[in-house]
């Protein structure tokens, strides 16, 4: 398993070293090829010029002048030369004799042989400069790389210390982080800690409340059974009915002890927070039909679970979306004064018959099926059941071709 120290100081350094070495190798190869091509072109150009000069001196001047020119060319260009006359006699020779020289004939304008030159550029000034250039380039590249590696190592070390410092601050509030990613992790971590604490507090609270609620029917049952056991009272049908009622009350309490998801726990909370968050999630979906969401969400605290509030908002908003035309407006309002949630649209609306039927059963009108083929008509039934569970009330006002408005009044 890799830690940040290894990542910053070892793996990145090794990666950059290999990467730079590869680049240097490619650069050297490219430089060598391009320089070799240029070097050979320069040699050919010099050779052509040199042979033309020799032909001119032999033809126009004399042999002695051409030999003087050879001596000068030998010393200034650092090449190995052997000059032969037309009969193969050596007229001039450099101090060093090449093993594999290049022999070039000297011809006049009529292609008559005037002599020949053996020339070797391997030890020439041009070749020497070419080799020195490549060595200098590599030395400079290596020095530059070492300097860059030192600077990079210091920079990576600073960044590692910054990451380490940020990591050590995870779990603390009101801290300025250098890295947004770590700050995001800290926010999620603090949120998880807060949620865990909230769950524990709620569990402790509900255990006390439910223990009290269970204690009441158990006390009644105990009193009856102790009375029967001591023969102070006799067991009868009415007592049997009371005992069964108390058992039913206990059975109603037990499911509440099994709630594990915090979103399913009923508690007093500001539902505006969850509604605003869910509206944001639906925004992209509504853009597909160019529908505008007009929201006016005021803070409102009620006894409810997060899951129930989200289900209500989701079903009402999605229904409004499905049965609205493009480029219309859907309005959602949460009023703290009226303790009311309202969702209204500019959709196809419903007739009085459809309205009566949809509040009693899973029903979809022909107009609804024509606009949106899929669907079961169960959405409003789910909303109605949740509203009844919360002891709230719901009203639906609708007019065909105008739109629908659903209002939920909380207690």
pLDDT at residue 340 is higher than 90: yes
Arithmetic mean of pLDDT, 78-98? 81
In this prediction, residue 14 has a pLDDT band, given cuts at 50, 70 and 90, of confident
CB-based contact 273:240 (threshold 8 Å): no
Please, which pLDDT band fits residue 79 given cuts at 50, 70 and 90? confident
Identify the H or E element spanning 396. Answer: strand 393-399
Flag whether pLDDT at 368 surpasses 60.
no
**DSSP secondary structure string for all residues of 262-297:** GGGS-EEEEHHHHHHHHHHHHHHHHHTTTPEEEEEE
Q: DSSP class of residue 409?
A: E
Residue 196 has pLDDT above 50, yes or no: yes
> At CB < 8 A and 24+ separation, what contacts does 131-138 make?
133/35, 134/28, 134/31, 134/32, 134/35, 137/28, 137/31, 138/24, 138/28
Res 385 pLDDT > 50: yes
Question: Does residue 354 contact residue 319 with C-beta atoms inside 8 Å?
Answer: no
Residue 302 has pLDDT above 70, yes or no: yes
For residue 152, which of 363, 291, 9, 313 has the smallest C-alpha distance?
A: 9
Q: Which domains does the chain have, with CATH numbers?
A: 4-127 (no CATH), 180-260 (1.10.287), 268-409 (3.30.565.10)
Q: Select from 277, 395, 388 the least CA-distant residue to 341.
A: 395
pLDDT at residue 144 tops 60: yes
Q: How confident is the model at residue 147 (pLDDT cuts 50, 70, 90)?
A: confident
Name the nearest CA neighbour of 397 among 343, 341, 337: 343
- Asked whether the whole model's pTM tops 0.85, one would answer no
Collapse the DSSP code of 116 into the 3-class scheme (helix H, G, I; strand E, B; otherwise coil) and give the result. Answer: strand
What is the rounded (10 degree) CA torsion for 367, 373, 378, 383? -70
In terms of DSSP bridges, do strands 329-335 and 292-297 run parallel, antiparallel, or are they unpaired? Answer: parallel
pLDDT of residue 333: 95
Whether residue 360 is predicted with pLDDT greater than 80 in this model: the reply is no
How far is Cα 233 from Cα 222, in angstroms, rounded to an integer? Answer: 13
Q: What is the pLDDT of residue 410?
A: 93
């Amino acid at each position: 398993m890799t830690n940040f120290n290894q990542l910053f100081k070892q793996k990145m350094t090794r990666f950059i070293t290999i990467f730079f070495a590869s680049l240097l190798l490619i650069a050297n190869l490219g430089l060598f090829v391009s320089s070799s091509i240029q070097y050979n072109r320069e040699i050919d150009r010099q050779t052509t010029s040199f042979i033309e000069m020799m032909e001119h001196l032999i033809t126009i001047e004399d042999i002695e002048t051409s030999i003087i020119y050879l001596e000068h060319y030998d010393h200034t260009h650092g090449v190995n030369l052997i000059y032969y006359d037309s009969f193969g006699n050596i007229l001039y020779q450099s101090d060093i004799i090449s093993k594999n020289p290049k022999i070039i004939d000297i011809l006049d304008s009529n292609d008559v042989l005037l002599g020949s030159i053996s020339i070797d550029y391997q030890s020439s000034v041009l070749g020497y400069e070419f080799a020195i250039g490549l060595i200098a380039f590599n030395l400079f590249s290596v020095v530059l790389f070492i300097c860059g590696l030192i600077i990079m190592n210091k920079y990576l070390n600073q960044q590692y210390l910054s990451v380490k410092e940020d990591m050590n601050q995870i779990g603390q509030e009101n801290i300025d982080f250098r890295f947004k990613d770590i700050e995001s992790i800290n926010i999620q971590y603090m949120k998880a800690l807060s949620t865990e604490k909230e769950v524990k507090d709620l569990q402790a609270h509900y255990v006390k409340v439910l223990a009290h609620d269970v204690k009441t029917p158990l006390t009644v049952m105990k009193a009856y059974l102790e009375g029967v056991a001591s023969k102070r009272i006799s067991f009868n049908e009415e007592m049997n009915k009371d005992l069964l009622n108390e058992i039913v009350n206990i059975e109603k309490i037990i499911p509440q002890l099994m709630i594990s998801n915090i979103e399913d726990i009923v508690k007093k909370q500001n539902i505006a927070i969850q509604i605003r968050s869910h509206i944001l999630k639906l925004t992209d979906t509504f853009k597909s039909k160019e529908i505008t969401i007009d929201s006016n969400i005021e803070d409102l605290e009620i006894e409810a679970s997060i899951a129930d509030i989200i289900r209500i908002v989701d079903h009402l908003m999605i229904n409004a979306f499905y049965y609205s035309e493009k480029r219309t407006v859907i309005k959602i309002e949460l009023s703290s004064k009226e303790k009311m949630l309202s969702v209204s649209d500019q959709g196809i609306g419903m007739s009085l018959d459809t309205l009566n039927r949809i509040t009693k059963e899973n029903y979809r009108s022909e107009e609804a099926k024509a606009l949106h083929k899929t669907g079961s008509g169960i959405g409003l039934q789910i909303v109605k059941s949740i509203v009844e569970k919360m002891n709230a009330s719901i009203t639906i006002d609708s007019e065909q071709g105008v739109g629908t408005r659903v209002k939920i009044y909380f207690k």
